[in-house]
Amino acid sequence: MSLERDGLALALHVQEGEGPIMFFQHGLCGDAAQPASVFPEGARLAVLECRGHGESPAGAVESFSIATFADDVLAAMSMLGGGPVIVGGISMGAAIAMRIACLAPKRVAGLVIARPAWTTHPAPSNMIPNLEVGLMLQQPPSADEVNDFLATATGRMLAVDAPDNLASLTGFFRREPRDVTAELLTRISRDGPGVTDNQLSSLSIPTLVIGHGEDVVHPMAHARYLANLIPASQLVEIPPKTRGREAYEAGFRGALGRFIQEIHHASSPARLV
């Protein structure tokens, strides 16, 4: 499916299944395959690929922001029926979901904040690695640029503390179009969800916060902070990717599946068509 916004046909992926539908957004420079890989089988999933991601065209790079991406998701929710629905995301997708929950709480039956890279402050220090790669990508391509990044203080630190983060970051050097990737990394790394602690602490929406260790870009401290801030929240710590992709995905899928079932039994949100 596609959502028409600002002259762009944004890609909307909908997976039919049982229970309430969930809008589950991907992370920075990701696509619909990322949330799908950890989503419970048989559940109903909708993913809007953000501008410049997956099959969605970039449009004007000046529009790259968490606020714009959240507005696009709200429009996609309206296109499918309005809600209330479960809304969540991974990393940047989590920031999008937090913004939607604060701006339109009546349209959100449940909130999932997975591997958050933001709390309520813009340009957090944990996003510096993404910013550094974005700035490098603004320069002409170089055969040694990946090794140059690996040799930086950030690259050396990630090799020890968060090798999965490092693998993602070095992969950005191969992502096309290069100029769009550079703009996404620099603009979103300097951005934020545009919500306050007071807004989040006032939410009465059932919330699942998912985090794990051995991750510099998505620190477990962020997950704990948000879980403590949002009253109706539960925190689940899953195995990090560094312990094996299978354990990570199984832990993620299990936590998500249990939460979706809880929301389904508690509120039976309207089925969207």
If one compares 265 and 233, the residue with the highest pLDDT of the two is 233
Look at residues 50, 39, 56 and name the one whose alpha carbon lies nearest to residue 95. 50
Q: Assign 265 a pLDDT band (cuts: 50, 70, 90).
A: confident
Q: Enter the DSSP assignment of 257.
A: H
For 154-177, the pLDDT digits (tens) are 999 999 999 999 999 999 999 999
Asked if the model's pLDDT at residue 82 lies above 80, the reply is no
The one-letter amino acid code at 53 reads: H
**128-142 confidence digits (pLDDT tens):** 999 999 999 999 999
pLDDT number for residue 268: 54
Strand partners, 259: none
Write out the CATH class of domain 2-120+192-267. alpha beta
Judge whether residue 57 has pLDDT over 90.
Answer: yes
Bridge partners of residue 3, in order along the sequence: 10
Local structure of 45: helix, strand or coil: strand
Average pLDDT over residues 42-63: 97
> Angle at CA 270, nearest 5°, toward 266 and 273?
145
Asked whether residue 271 carries a pLDDT value surpassing 90, the answer given is: no
pTM, whole model, 2 decimals?
0.96
